[in-house]
Structure formats: structure tokens, C-alpha cells
């Protein structure tokens, strides 16, 4: 059995940073998104992705477009468990790919993101002097894990809700408003709220709800309504039609026989991961 320590020793700093970012963004990315998250040439990036698969830190869950997910080994590497490595419904995966799409697009504005949950809470507590009681709560504690926190191109603080392809836009919008209305009332001028959508058609649907649906004014936004906007990413996120789960995750079934391959594995990891390496490291 290839030990977790040996596999983790094969990771260089670039791959380690990529995995940390991917977990913080929800655990999924397309191959094209990975190229934007990874520095380097396309050849180097493809090599790194192949090696992360062979080492059991990434797995493919679709045939086309190619979508990667982090594994249990990845969350173990980072020192904490995370729902990002578990199996999810197709709609959840689509929403998490949309989140990565928005992150990559907004970084070019430029925007500055706060991805760590504790730092999100600290931003309101320390920078804004905000009582934690006005933040959304779960189990009696502030809960912002499902929302991006960022400073936009105008250096305004923003919170985002990532849309889902399933129906129910009105219920999600009402929940978003209810969760953050106490914060909006307390803070006054900031933050802005963004509903991030996969295309213009979906963003127009949210805009119509905000302007015309009779349930929205009843929530009490009033003069704060201009702080809530819909945003469509460009280009739209590729649509996924099916998943290809294959029994156990790879890191749970990596077995290597005790022969000369064991020595080759150790030699190949001696200088950390070679981003252009294409040879097999692990036998299934």
C-alpha cells in the first residue's frame, strides 16, 4: 500500500496551493478552470493534473467537459475534513463550477477575495465593527461558508449567492435577503449583495423577481433594494449532463505490489512532483 506520507511528499508548493484554493472554492473545477488556477504553460498544467490524479488527490467525475474533484486525501493533506470531497448532486456540482467561474472572472476586475471562513467573520468583526449576531447563523455561530466575500473593483465590500440550475429562484432569493437583511440594516452603505448566475437569461429572471414579484417588498428591503443585484458570468459555465462515479475513490483503493515498482515510486518522488512527468506512478 502506498502510504499517504509518500504521496503527499510528491507535491510541490504550486500543486499544494492549487489544492488549497480548490477546496476553498468548493472542491470542483473543469479542466479549463484548472488551467486558469494553475500557473505555468498548458503542458506543465496538464502534467500536474495527471500527477495529482495518479497520486489520488484529484479524480475525474465526468467525461465531457472534464471536471475534477478533490478527494479525501486532499482534505487530509490540508489538515481538516471538508464536504468538498464528498459526492454531490449534479445541481450542486454545477453551482460550484459557477463559483469557480465567477472567482476567476472577478479576480481580473481586479477583486480581492476572502476565502477562509474565520477570516470572513473577522472582516465584519474587526474592520466593520459589526456585531456577529447580525450575520447568518448556524448552530448559534456565524455562518458564511456558502457565500463569497470580496472587495470589488471600486473597493466596495460584496457578498455573493451562487445560483443553482434547479428551479426555485424565488425561494433562494428570499432566503438570501432574509439572511443578510440584518447586516444591511446595521452596516448602512456596505456590503452589496450579488446573485451570481451562469448566463444572462438567469440573471434577467432574478432581476424580474426583484422588480416585480410582490413577495420581495414584503421582506422589508425598502431603500436598501439597490444594494442587491444579479450578475451573469462571461462566458457561461459549461453544462454537465452526467457524472461517472466509479465505486471507491482512488485514494481508498491505491495498491502497489512490493516489487521494483516500489523503488521506482520512491525515486520519482525524491525531487517532488515533476509537472511534465507522464509515466505511471501508481498501479490501480
Q: Give one word for 220, left, alpha or beta, with left for phi > 0 and alpha for psi -120 to 50.
A: left
Share of the chain above pLDDT 70, in %: 83
How would residue 147 be classed by pLDDT, with cut points 50, 70 and 90? very high
Flag the least confident range among 137-141, 162-166, 262-266.
Answer: 262-266
- The mean pLDDT of 1-25, rounded to a whole number, is 85
**Taking residues 115-129, what's their average pLDDT?**
87
Residue 231 has pLDDT above 80, yes or no: yes
Q: How far apart are the first and last CA of the chain?
A: 11
- For the record, the C-alpha cell of 23 comes out as 477546496
| pLDDT digit string, tens, across residues 162-176 | 999 877 899 999 999
Phi and psi, residue 149, nearest 5°: -120, 130
- Residues near 41 by beta carbon (within 8 Å), at least 6 away in sequence: none
Q: Give the mean pLDDT of 265-271.
A: 41
- Strand, coil or helix: what is 113? strand
CA separation for the pair 159, 157 (Å, rounded):
7
What are the pLDDT digits (tens) for 18-60?
Answer: 999 999 999 999 999 999 999 888 888 999 999 999 999 999 9
How many other CB atoms are there within 10 angstroms of residue 73's CB atom?
Answer: 24
Q: Kindly report whether the peptide bond that precedes residue 131 is cis, defined as omega within 30 degrees of 0.
A: no
Of 161, 258, 157, 154, the residue nearest 206 (C-alpha)? 161
Tell me which of 77 and 1 has the higher pLDDT: 77
Beta bridge partners of 113: 150
Per-residue cell: 166: 434547479
Which ranges of 141-219 would DSSP assign to H, the alpha helix? 169-187, 200-212
What SS3 string covers 207-261?
HHHHHHCCCCHHHCCHHHHHHEEEEECCCCCCCCCCCCCCCCCHHHCCCCCCCHH
- Report, as an integer, the average pLDDT of 103-125: 94
Strands 157-162 and 28-30: unpaired
Distance CA 254, CA 54 (A): 9
More confident: 254 or 68: 68
What SS3 class is residue 232?
A: strand
Between 105 and 259, residue with greater pLDDT:
105
Residues 6+ apart with CB under 8 A from 157: 123, 128, 149, 150, 151, 190, 191, 192
Count of beta carbons in the 10 Å neighbourhood of residue 271: 9
Cell of 40: 505555468
The pLDDT value given to residue 7: 83
Report the chain's mean pLDDT, rounded to a whole number: 83
Residue boundaries of the structural domains of the chain = 4-87+245-269, 103-232
Residue 106 phi, psi (nearest 5): -70, -30
- Give the separation between CA 254 and CA 42, rounded to whole angstroms: 28
The correct answer on CATH 3.40.50.300 for the domain covering 4-87+245-269 is no
Contact 112, 151 (CB under 8 A): yes
d(CA 197, CA 284): 39
The residue ranking higher by pLDDT, 249 or 58, is 58
Amino acid at each position: 500500500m502506498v502510504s499517504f506520507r509518500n504521496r503527499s511528499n510528491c507535491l510541490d508548493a504550486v500543486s499544494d496551493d492549487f489544492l488549497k484554493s480548490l477546496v476553498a472554492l468548493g472542491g470542483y473545477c473543469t479542466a479549463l478552470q484548472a488551467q486558469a488556477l494553475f500557473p505555468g504553460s498548458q503542458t506543465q498544467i496538464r502534467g500536474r493534473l495527471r500527477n495529482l490524479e495518479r497520486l489520488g488527490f484529484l479524480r475525474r467525475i465526468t467525461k465531457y467537459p472534464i471536471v475534477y474533484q478533490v478527494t479525501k486525501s486532499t482534505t487530509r493533506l490540508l489538515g481538516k475534513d471538508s464536504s468538498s470531497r464528498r459526492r454531490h448532486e449534479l445541481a450542486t456540482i454545477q453551482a460550484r463550477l459557477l463559483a469557480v467561474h465567477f472567482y476567476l472572472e472577478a479576480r481580473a476586475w481586479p477583486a480581492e477575495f476572502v476565502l477562509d471562513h474565520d477570516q470572513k467573520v473577522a472582516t465584519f468583526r474587526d474592520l466593520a465593527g459589526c456585531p456577529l449576531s447580525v450575520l447568518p447563523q448556524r448552530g448559534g455561530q456565524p455562518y458564511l461558508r456558502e457565500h463569497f466575500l470580496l472587495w470589488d473593483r471600486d473597493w466596495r465590500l460584496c457578498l455573493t449567492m451562487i445560483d443553482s440550475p434547479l428551479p426555485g429562484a424565488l425561494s433562494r432569493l428570499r432566503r438570501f435577503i432574509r439572511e443578510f437583511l440584518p447586516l444591511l440594516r446595521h452596516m448602512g452603505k456596505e456590503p452589496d449583495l450579488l446573485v451570481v448566475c451562469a448566463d444572462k437569461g438567469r440573471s434577467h429572471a432574478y432581476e424580474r423577481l426583484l422588480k416585480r414579484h410582490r413577495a420581495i417588498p414584503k421582506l422589508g428591503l425598502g431603500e436598501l433594494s439597490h444594494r442587491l443585484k444579479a450578475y451573469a458570468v462571461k462566458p457561461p459555465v459549461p453544462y454537465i449532463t452526467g457524472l461517472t462515479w466509479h465505486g471507491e475513490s482512488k485514494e481508498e483503493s491505491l495498491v502497489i505490489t512490493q516489487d521494483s515498482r516500489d523503488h521506482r515510486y520512491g525515486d520519482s518522488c525524491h525531487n517532488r512532483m515533476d509537472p511534465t512527468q507522464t509515466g505511471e506512478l501508481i498501479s490501480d
